[in-house]
């Protein structure tokens, strides 16, 4: 029997979380390479611990960027807001172990006779969209991101100096007949100043939770948990080591949809772990925006060195208004799903990645310089006309 009501929970972590510090550093270095050379190849991993950052990975691009890695790291950490004794942008140690890309990998990825690049690795990637929010995203992850993003904005502007950079949120929603109907619980844990009491932390955080709620929604006071373990002064990499790519569910759909085999941050768009995940979200979002389904899950699969996906899978989870096989065929005809085709379609060869490192890669507004271009719904009208459906899309 189909379950008609349930609770579903998603979490987010702030830009000051140790793993997100690593994502930000890796994507900052990627942006620096792409700014100098749109065809640069970058696979950059970061590790952080107490007052230490190690960078490792493979690159192919301008040598002068390698000389700026330490300053890029310090500026990223400074922008996040770390000036504490155990992790300070001025005093932390930076070890750079970036090296040249493997010739074997380069041979498989570079352009062939047909002007196409092969995929940088084998793998599976997923994209998802649903119509339960205006952003065509699952509601729990959007609300979790919103709480932390507004907290960070207030902290960095000086409006809320009691809060520190490291924080987590978690939102549990009630669903009835497949639609979110209210909030069951909210959890927020945040780093704070040494002289800030538990009562002051609650006073500082509560307005951001209430501001994030949809109009007309409430949550009982006894279901709001703020710093439930108490004191949280030591945070960030001083409190816990961080690594690039450990928050992949936070990056995507909060557990409401599958995630592929790879993380995103620090990878240039020839790496289909990243670019094909963006492409599959783009396709799924346009299917829902076109009114062809209430939910859409798309899987792409690639083989290393091969341009075309070896498989495309479309699942509208029982909400589709058109045949899924026909829909998949049409999407492949409308969008060239090779690494080069995706990169050109979505404008991915630009320094647009540091901004994706926190608060989600999806559900964000497309930006004038090409950032979050995979969130456009410019295919929706064409899809609706093709299948004779009504498009309900807005750029």
Residues placed in the known binding site = 17, 19, 45, 58, 101, 166-168, 231-232, 240, 246-247, 263, 267, 271
Inter-CA distances, 17 with 21, 44, 241, 249, 354, Å: 6, 18, 10, 14, 15
| Catalytic entry in 247, 345, 361, 376 | 247
Q: Tell me if residue 241 is catalytic.
A: yes
Q: Which of 273, 294, 315, 375 is catalytic?
A: 273
| Catalytic choice (87, 208, 232, 387) | 232
45 is annotated as an active-site residue: yes
Catalytic pick among 60, 74, 145, 168: 168
Is 17 tagged catalytic? yes
For residue 105, what are the CA distances in angstroms to 60, 102, 163, 276, 336?
Answer: 11, 5, 44, 18, 23
The span from the CA of 4 to the CA of 1, in Å, is 9
Instruction: Give phi and psi for 121, each to the nearest 5.
Output: -170, 165
Phi, psi of 339 (to 5 degrees): -55, -45
Binding-site positions for Mg(2+): 19
Q: Tokens at residue 120, please? A: 């940088």
The answer to whether residue 321 is catalytic is no
Catalytic residue among 8, 11, 15, 20: 20
Residues at the annotated binding site for L-methionine? 58, 101, 240, 271
Which one from 24, 149, 271, 343 is the annotated catalytic residue?
A: 271
Neighbouring CB atoms inside 10 A of 181's CB total: 11
| Rounded CA separation 48/26 (Å) | 11
CA 226/CA 160 separation, integer angstroms: 16
Q: Active site residue: 11, 15, 19, 121, which one?
A: 19
Tell me the DSSP string of 184-234: EEEEEEEEE-TT--HHHHHHHHHHHHHHHSPTT----GGGEEESTT----S
Euclidean distance between CA atoms 13 and 120, whole angstroms? 29
Residue list for the binding site for ATP: 17, 166-168, 231-232, 240, 246-247, 263, 267
Q: Which of 241, 324, 381, 382 is catalytic?
A: 241
Q: Among 41, 246, 281, 345, which one carries the catalytic annotation? A: 246
Alpha-carbon dihedral angle through residues 361, 145, 57, 374, given to the nearest 10 degrees: 10
Q: What Å distances lie between residue 120 and 41, 270, 305, CA to CA?
A: 10, 6, 6
Q: Supply 67's token pair.
A: 């000389």
Active site residue 113: no
CA distance 53 to 25: 9
192 is catalytic: no
Is 146 considered catalytic here? Answer: no
**Which candidate in 37, 39, 58, 75 is catalytic?**
58
What dihedral do alpha carbons 255, 257, 258, 263 form, nearest 10°? -70
How many other CB atoms are found less than 10 A from the CB of residue 27?
A: 27
Annotated catalytic residue: which of 11, 15, 31, 45? Answer: 45
- Of 24, 145, 267, 376, which is the active-site residue? 267
Residues annotated as catalytic are: 17, 19-20, 45, 58, 168, 232, 240-241, 246-247, 267, 271, 273
């Amino acid at each position: 029997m189909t379950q008609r009501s349930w609770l579903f929970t998603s979490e987010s972590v702030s830009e000051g979380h140790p793993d997100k510090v690593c994502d930000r550093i890796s994507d900052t270095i990627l942006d620096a390479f792409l700014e100098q050379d749109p065809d640069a190849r970058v696979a950059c991993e970061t590790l952080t611990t107490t007052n230490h950052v190690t960078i490792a990975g493979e690159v192919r691009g301008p040598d002068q960027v390698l000389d700026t890695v330490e300053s890029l790291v310090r500026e990223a950490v400074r922008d996040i807001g770390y000036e504490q004794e155990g992790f300070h942008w001025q005093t932390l140690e930076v070890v750079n172990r970036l090296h040249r890309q493997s010739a074997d990998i380069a041979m498989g990825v570079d352009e062939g006779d047909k002007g196409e690049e092969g995929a940088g690795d084998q793998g599976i990637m997923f994209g998802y969209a649903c119509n339960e929010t205006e952003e065509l995203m699952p509601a729990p992850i959007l609300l979790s991101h919103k709480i932390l993003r507004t907290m960070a904005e207030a902290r960095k502007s000086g409006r809320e100096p009691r809060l520190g950079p490291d924080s987590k949120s978690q939102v549990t929603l009630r669903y009835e007949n497949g639609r979110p109907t209210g909030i069951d619980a909210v959890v927020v844990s945040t780093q704070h100043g040494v002289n800030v009491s538990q009562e002051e932390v609650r006073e500082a955080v509560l307005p951001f939770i209430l501001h994030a709620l949809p109009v007309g929604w409430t949550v009982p006071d006894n279901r709001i948990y703020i710093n439930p373990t108490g004191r949280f002064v030591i945070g960030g990499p001083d409190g816990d080591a961080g690594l690039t790519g450990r928050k992949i569910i936070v990056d995507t759909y909060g557990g409401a949809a599958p995630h592929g085999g790879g993380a995103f941050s620090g990878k240039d768009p020839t790496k289909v772990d990243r670019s094909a995940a963006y492409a599959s979200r783009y396709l799924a979002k346009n299917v829902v925006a076109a009114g062809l389904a209430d939910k859409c899950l798309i899987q792409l699969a690639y083989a290393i060195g091969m341009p075309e996906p070896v498989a495309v899978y479309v699942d509208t989870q029982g909400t589709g208004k058109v045949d899924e096989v026909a829909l998949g065929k049409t999407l492949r005809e409308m969008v060239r799903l090779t690494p080069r085709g995706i990169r050109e379609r979505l404008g991915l060869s630009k320094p647009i990645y540091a901004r994706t490192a926190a608060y989600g890669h999806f559900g964000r507004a497309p930006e004038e310089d090409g950032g979050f271009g995979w969130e456009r719904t410019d295919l929706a009208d064409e899809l609706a006309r093709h299948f004779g459906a009504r498009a309900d899309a807005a750029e």
